[in-house]
Structure 1
């Protein structure tokens, strides 16, 4: 068999053919130091301990995009801070509108409380069955003359008009005081100069005439106008108080012989008697203040009158209703109609 192999026998022994490890493809992959396999691998041979654990370095934060820094973007809003959804002017107008609504609501609540208080008072008076007793002028009980009017500004006048009515009442008191001082000044002038008797007499007349007439003719209509929102009383007040303001101005001027210790009459009296002149100058200053305050209050009440919705047509309706509802007027009209009818039947 060896001879056949050496001599180039193409048929090798069966043993060689049956051994798969003799295949050249397997022989070239046999273990070696350059090509180690699992058979020659020793895990415990010359092994060094692994290095200590080191955490990885944090990644650098991304840079923000380049933009112009603003105050609003750099500041974080707190959870309770409202966001800015509009411009400053819009927010200011909204805040002003909210404040105006709150103010109107408070005013309506105040008016409702005032109406409730007045209604309770009226109900109390009605349930008690006693009519209101007159309390003005405040006279003592021993006086034979009793009060003629009932006046209570805090009860009868709405709260928004109480200050105006009180100011007009003090204006009437000041005008009365000025007339009293004017009478005393004219009396002192008459004592030092008997030729001024006409002025002294007129000062007495103005005191006796203006004191009650001013209260009845312009203060009471103004009081009733604000108490019941009466257009007719408003018109009466405007007409009469305008005339009163004219007299206030004439009193402040002080034309000699008219019975007013104004500026002109006081300056004339300086050369005669300085003491009397000083008293007359004080009266003239008081008259001037009353005249200025009267003009201011007339304008203020006129503005309030325009806000109440009163009109001349409403005043005419109130006047007609008041005239026809008056028992004396109705009786006089019935008697006049009956007399006219009787005369018509008697005529031939």
Structure 2
């Protein structure tokens, strides 16, 4: 099938990178949980990262002269996160979630749990509002109350969004884990899938064959030199 995600216009020089169809590829009993993960990913990108960038910009504009350098660094880090995190989060935890339910894959379940839990921890820390993390949170939002109530209110609203997303992430993690336990998946099955995937990869097999050929040639060459 032709790739259909992200849905880019025909005149765009870059085409879609993935094929995604919930109705066709995901079993009916799991479509709701996978859609929840997809909507959470979009909420992370649109409702948090983009709004967080605007919030850090307001923080930078309204910060006092003594805090300008710190606020500028917060804004710069937020811009960097807004560029890097959307594709990384889609590839590293949503696609494993999608493929886990599509193929009943223990390996993708484990990959999702690992990456998504790390994201959950980062999100909890971000909602606190430490400046070096490039986020608007409860700490730096509260500190802005003395300078500008409008900017402080906007930053505290973003902190509330981070907090709500943290709760929703935990709900998704718990629900996926319950389904995972009910499917009979295991760590041993995940290791077996990983080993089979590595052995069936053409690149890996080609490298192994080249290495074996080189070893054989070295053995014969060395033998001819000794005898």
User: TM-score, length-normalised on structure 2?
Assistant: 0.92
Q: Which has the higher helix share?
A: 2
Could you tell me which of 296, 315, 319 is aligned with 2:190? 315
Cross-structure match for 1:54: none
User: Is the aligned partner of 1:140 residue 2:15?
Assistant: no
List gaps (5 residues or longer) in structure 2: none
Cross-structure match for 1:221: 96
Q: Distance in 1 between matches of 2:201 and 2:17?
A: 20
Q: Deviations over 1:321-347 (max 9, x none)?
A: 111111111111111222233333444
Cross-structure match for 1:159: 28
Q: Distance in 1 between matches of 2:119 and 2:215?
A: 42
Cross-structure match for 1:276: 151
Deviation at 1:208, TM superposition (A): 1.3
User: Is the aligned partner of 1:189 residue 2:54?
Assistant: no
Q: Secondary structure at the match of 1:250?
A: helix
Deviation at 1:313, TM superposition (A): 1.3
Q: Distance in 1 between matches of 2:59 and 2:44?
A: 21
Q: Distance in 1 between matches of 2:133 and 2:108?
A: 31
Cross-structure match for 1:199: 74
Q: Deviations over 1:43-74 (max 9, x none)?
A: xxxxxxxxxxxxxxxxxxxxxxxxxxxxxxxx
Deviates more, 1:181-190 or 1:167-176: 181-190
Cross-structure match for 1:333: 208
Deviation at 1:184, TM superposition (A): 1.0
Q: Secondary structure at the match of 1:200?
A: helix
Distance 1:275 1:331, change over 3 A: same
Give the aligned length.
217
Cross-structure match for 2:127: 252
Could you tell me which of 158, 162, 173 is aligned with 1:287? 162
Q: Distance in 1 between matches of 2:162 and 2:219?
A: 59
Q: CA RMSD in A?
A: 1.2
Alignment of 1:105-116 (within 5 A): none
User: Is the aligned partner of 1:180 residue 2:55?
Assistant: no
Alignment of 1:97-108 (within 5 A): none
List gaps (5 residues or longer) in structure 1: 1-131
Structure of higher RCO (CA pairs closer than 8 Å, 6+ residues apart): 2
Q: Deviations over 1:256-293 (max 9, x none)?
A: 23201011111111112211111111111111111001
Q: Distance in 1 between matches of 2:199 and 2:126?
A: 40
Which has the larger Rg?
1
Q: Secondary structure at the match of 1:179?
A: helix
Q: Distance in 1 between matches of 2:149 and 2:80?
A: 26
User: TM-score, length-normalised on structure 1?
Assistant: 0.61
Cross-structure match for 1:72: none
Deviates more, 1:306-315 or 1:215-224: 306-315
Q: Distance in 2 between matches of 1:258 and 1:315?
A: 34
Deviates more, 1:265-274 or 1:302-311: 265-274
